[in-house]
Amino acid sequence: MAQPFASLIRRLFWIFLGLALVFFSVNNRTPISLSFEPFDFSVPIPVYGLLFAGVFIGLLLAAGATGWLRLKGFAKRRKAERRATYLEDQVTALAEDAHKAHASDAHRAAAAEAAADPTEPLPKPGKDE
């Protein structure tokens, strides 16, 4: 029930904002002189045109900053993912090496024990002596 009410409030806000901008534009049609001081350049522009240009430039700057920060975060995340994959591969390789080394040591120990006394049977796995 709260969702449709919030949607209605949001729509009413944008409608009233649009009407306020239309009334502002109609009431402020008189041109002003926009000049750039160090240069001999002047442009007559209505007050509402200056306001809309400022809002538009602000939106462009905000969109550019947001996009740049998003790309920067994407690059950091991608670098972290590559590092995590590399480290996972290293852990897997080290675990395999450790398993091979342990198996090799156990095989050497069993062979040495069998060579020391060939008549004695090998102990059963899982029993301590």
pLDDT tens sequence for the chain (129 residues)? 568 888 999 999 999 998 998 888 888 888 888 888 888 888 898 888 888 889 899 999 999 999 988 888 888 888 999 999 999 999 999 998 888 888 877 777 777 776 666 566 666 666 555
**For residues 61 and 56, what is the distance between their CA atoms, to the nearest angstrom?**
9
Residues 51/53/55/60 CA torsion (nearest 10 deg): -170
- The residue count of the chain comes to 129
In this prediction, residue 128 carries a pLDDT of 55
Residue 29 pLDDT: 84
Task: Report the pLDDT value the prediction gives residue 74, as an integer from 0 to 100.
Answer: 85
Q: What is the pTM of this model?
A: 0.50
The dihedral of CA 92, 98, 100, 102: what is its sign? negative
Cβ contact 29:46 at 8 Å: yes
Say whether 30 sits in a helix, a strand or coil: coil
Question: To the nearest 10°, the Cα dihedral for 121, 123, 125, 129?
Answer: 180
Rounded to 5 degrees, φ, ψ at 115 are -70, -30
Encoded amino acid at 85, one letter: T
Query: Cα 115 to the chain's mean position, in Å?
Result: 61
